[in-house]
Amino acid sequence: MLRLGTMTGPTVWSEFGRLSQEYDVANLGQGFPDWLPPDFAVEALVSATIDSTKQSPHQYTRTAGHPNLVKQLARRYSKHMHRTIDPMNEVSVTVGASQALYLSLQTLVKPGDEVILFEPFFDLYQNQIKLAGGTPVYVPLTFVPYSEDNEEVTGGEWILEPEKLEQAISPKTRAIILNSPHNPTGKVFNVSEMQHIADSVIAAGPQCVVISDEVYKYIVHSSPPQDELLGVGSSCPGHVHFASLPGMWDRTITVSSAGKTFSATGWQVGWCIGPSNLISPIHQLLPYVQFCASTVIQEALARTLPKADEPYEGYDSYYEYLNSKYRRKRDLLGKGLKEAGFAIPDYDRTPGGGFFIFARITPELRRALPAERMGPEYTKNPAAPGGEARLDWALCQWMAEEKGVLCIPSSPFFSREKAMEGASDEFIRVAFCKTDETIESAAKALMGVR
């Protein structure tokens, strides 16, 4: 079992966080918006802070979640899931989605259990599974380039091949972690892929559940045809909640948080939604992890949520505004990356969500990297799965130190096995949750890479 002290060392976030402090860079690295939350959210936070009615928001609240917030969340998810959700027994508020994932895994997994991850994956999952005593089992998403022509390195799509998932399923499979929209690729799983996952959950046996990480659910740029299984009335345009698939409510813990949606990653309010038999163990564990998540922030979010449904900046709701803002930023960054010579997904053809572009390093860009940058002095990358020098890491480090633009290498999103195959360092992850000025100055800096 993974224990502190046996962890793999500094994460890519601390390493590249340090570089962003040391060098003057246009920072397209870690996924946090560099603008303020919408006014109504800031006002909600101020009003929650100064309001001294009935229960002070400055004291502890209910461990499983502040009543005003769990009621709001239950009301919203009842709409998303087409069922009535019990705020007290089917919702748990956590410190960010990170803690929601941690508690889900701690309550589900016992030593020897297997947890399936689609690779590439958000790096946190892997060590959280090990911390719970579980074994990560990797199901590679297949990268299908737009062109098979060896001369041309193109972007492409990441697809789930059902046979690969079937092969990974066993009676030891305790959970499958699904993340859609996906970090780092921007993939939005289509309904037939989700249906294969649902079929696999059933095939694995009654012990198997899905942890569905949906933190980017309000950032969907273009969604695949998906309505046939869904019913109507989702208040989350373009997004499929895995738990809304037939038979999947009872087999899913849905995880999300407020950070991405309200451009407030520092608020650190997250939640788990699911049937009481899956949520109740989380309620039982919570008081031993902490008494409660911040009351004042929970109250602020409870006041923010109803406002987000109102017309905003000329759009029917804040969510529509957010979607349109991100679609435009994705196109702005996509153009910059293309002009700089990176091979990127074709978002007109590929479903896309979230706020990252997973750009492929072309041979031309590989040649631009000075040879000594792949030498031994750059081999001490502690966060890359193999610990050895990798093209993606060397390129991102060089771009931050010499070219004034910071992006995240792809290898931390892959397993050690994949790293050994040499298949994990062909990409960089570039964030577009940044002001137009930052994206434009990054685009200019990227032009100087080759």
What residues make contact with ligand PMP under the rule CB under 6 A? 31, 96-98, 122, 179, 183, 213, 215, 257, 259, 265, 270
Structure-token pair, residue 432 = 């577009």
Q: Which is nearer to ligand PMP, 66 or 403 (CB)?
A: 66
Given the complex with ligand PMP, which of 101 and 445 has the nearer CB atom?
101
Sequential DSSP letters for 361-425: PPHHHHHHS-GGGGSGGG---SSSTTSS--HHHHHHHHIIIIISEE-EESGGGS-HHHHHTT-SS
**Degrees (nearest 5) of the Cα angle 289, 295, 296?**
140
Considering CB distances under 5 to 8 angstroms, the limit depending on partner class, which of ligand GLN, ligand PMP, none binds residue 13?
Answer: ligand GLN
From the list 28, 31, 114, 200, which residue makes contact with ligand GLN (rule: CB under 6 A)?
31
Residue 17 touches ligand GLN, criterion: CB under 6 A: no
**Partner whose binding site includes residue 49, from ligand PMP, ligand GLN, none (CB under 5 to 8 Å by kind):** none
- With CB atoms as reference, the residue minimizing the distance to ligand PMP is 96
CA distances from 82 to 144, 227, 235, 305 (A): 35, 14, 11, 19
Identified binder of ligand GLN from the candidate list 68, 183, 244, 257, rule CB under 6 A: 183
Residue nearest to ligand GLN (CB): 31
Shortest CB 183 distance to ligand GLN, Å: 5
252 binds, among ligand PMP, ligand GLN, none (CB under 5 to 8 A by kind): none
What does residue 179 show for φ and ψ, rounded to 5 degrees?
-135, 105
* 422 class by beta-carbon count within 10 Å (0-12 exposed, 13-18 middle, 19+ buried): exposed
CB of 138 to ligand PMP, least distance (A): 16
Nearer to ligand GLN, 115 or 383 (CB): 383
CB 449 within 8 A of CB 399: yes
Q: Specify the residue, 13 or 143, whose C-beta has the smaller distance to ligand GLN.
A: 13
CA–CA separation, 143 vs 301, rounded Å? 38
Calculate the dihedral angle through the C-alpha atoms of 165, 166, 168, 169, rounding to the nearest 10 degrees.
120
CB 242 within 8 A of CB 197: yes
Of 191 and 344, the one with the shorter C-beta distance to ligand GLN is 344
Among 30, 127, 154, 235, binds ligand GLN (CB under 6 A): 30
Applying CB under 6 A, the site for ligand GLN has a residue count of 4
Instruction: Let me know: does 95 contact 290? Beta carbons within 8 Å.
Output: yes
Q: Give the single-character DSSP code of 38.
A: P
Name the residue nearer to ligand GLN (CB basis): 271 or 312.
271
Asked if 212 contacts 181 with a C-beta cutoff of 8 angstroms, the reply is no
Chain positions contacting ligand GLN, by CB under 6 A: 13, 30-31, 183
